Amino acid sequence: MASWQADVVVVGGGMAGIAAAIGAARLGAETILIERSGWLGGIGITGATGLHTFFNVYGAEPNAPRRRLVGGIPQELVDRTRDIGGGVGHVPMERGADFVSVLTPVEPEAFKLAAAQLCREAGVRLLLHTTLLGADARDGRVKSVAVWSKRGPATVEGRVFVDCSGDGDLAAAAGAEHITYHPGEEGAYAAGFTFRLCNVDLPALEAHLLREDLLTQSAHAVKPGMGEPDPVRIGIAMHALRERGLEDAPGYFLSSSLRPRELTYCNCINFGDLDPLDPEDLTEAEVALRGRIFEVADFFRRTFEGCSNCYPAGPAPAVGPRRARAVRCDYELSREDVTSGARFEDEIGQFGFIDNANYLVAEAGAYGIPYRALRPRGMDNLLIAGRMMTVELVAHNSTRNTTCCMACGQAAGVAAALAAQNVSPVGEVDVGRLRSLLTAGGALLEPREC
């Protein structure tokens, strides 16, 4: 049986895992990143409409200052993606700024390449096409993980492990306390599925939506290969169309565009609630949603100017469950923490967006994320980062978002490297040292007006 060894083993190459692996490797830790797909970025790059968000939601409060909340490795990923020709940087919203004030759209294929390049440059050993099977863990300590690839089963030993699987797969396999969510239960989510809508005259579509008072979100930027600003964000008031008798209108519609005549990410269809750990539920979602994208394209052809010859393409490679497990940690952010802008002595990051129209962070501010929120209860050498880190639903509405996952991933990776180097439990990491290293790596621990 094949085997590998490393100081830090990161499971899951999504948004959190990329940042965790880079953060650990840059401190000199031998780092392995295990990812079941053939690319990096996970659901965050194949299913999200943008990286939400590096800034506070200043559009929600009159005269609120714009503040930068996230930097570091997440910003490096944005910069590299733009250098490759797949990004436009941070774009202020012109409509809908009370929900997300600054959009950071990235083209998925360019981001995948940027992530792989930065991992390789940092010295991360990538094990793509490699699936987690289980863990050898006793008394709160993980010794190794079992994985499978086309070559067969193998083991990966490590000093410290970071679960960035999104679903808490490693934490569950290692015996960490966690919660699962089933259809109909509080905290359960529907699964989403994004796709590209191609051959769209974007200015004509936007003009039509403006005339019909249907444009809810908009932003413009000069896209790669273009010389003039073009729509990069379009939101449509689908509820208004249903009220006008168009009953087959999607429930909602948000999109980002990185290419001419293309809506790169269309976010408008869901399936569920479903059990995201049940392969039969996931199969039903795959079949239903892949059919639904053709129905949406037909609706656009019939309904909107500029879309008469549009067609769907580039769907997400798999359905995107928003939640499966929540891992119980030494501290669990609450709705009150998030909405009040709570701060903590052991903060390793901050965030200010809640993907729930009923809640905002007070005074267009930000809340802190404590290091304790990345430490599963009772585990000596395991950290987590990503969308399984909070239990309370409104807090999860915030922390599951892409930019928060990246910021937490960087912190978890740096902390894992420190624990590995000192041969100490993750709970004994010097938080002052951790914060200093994060700041040196470009992370922001205090809001910065800009």
> Rounded mean pLDDT of 328-337?
98
Confidence of residue 183 (pLDDT cuts 50, 70, 90): confident
pLDDT at 7 > cutoff 90: yes
The predicted structure's pLDDT at residue 1: 62
pLDDT per residue as tens digits for the range 356-369: 999 999 999 999 99
Q: CA-to-CA distance for 368 and 427, rounded, in angstroms? A: 19
* Fold of the 2-87+101-181+324-449 domain: FAD/NAD(P)-binding domain (3.50.50)
The predicted structure's pLDDT at residue 129: 98
The residue behind tokens 């993907």 is: 355
Confidence of residue 272 (pLDDT cuts 50, 70, 90): confident
The predicted structure's pLDDT at residue 189: 84
Residues of the chain with CATH 3.50.50.60: 2-87+101-181+324-449
The residue behind tokens 């709705």 is: 335
Q: What is the DSSP string of 89-144?
A: --EE-SB-TTT-SEE--B-HHHHHHHHHHHHHHHTPEEE-S-EEEEEEEETTEEEE
Q: Quote the mean pLDDT of the chain.
A: 96
User: Minimal CA–CA distance to 73: which of 415, 405, 429, 398?
Assistant: 405
Asked whether 89 and 82 are in contact (CB, 8 A), the reply is yes
pLDDT per residue as tens digits for the range 243-270: 999 999 999 999 999 999 999 999 999 9
Tokens standing for residue 176: 């960490």
Question: Which residues are paired to 235 by β-bridges?
Answer: 217, 254
| Helical residues (DSSP H) of 304-428, grouped into ranges | 335-340, 393-399, 402-422
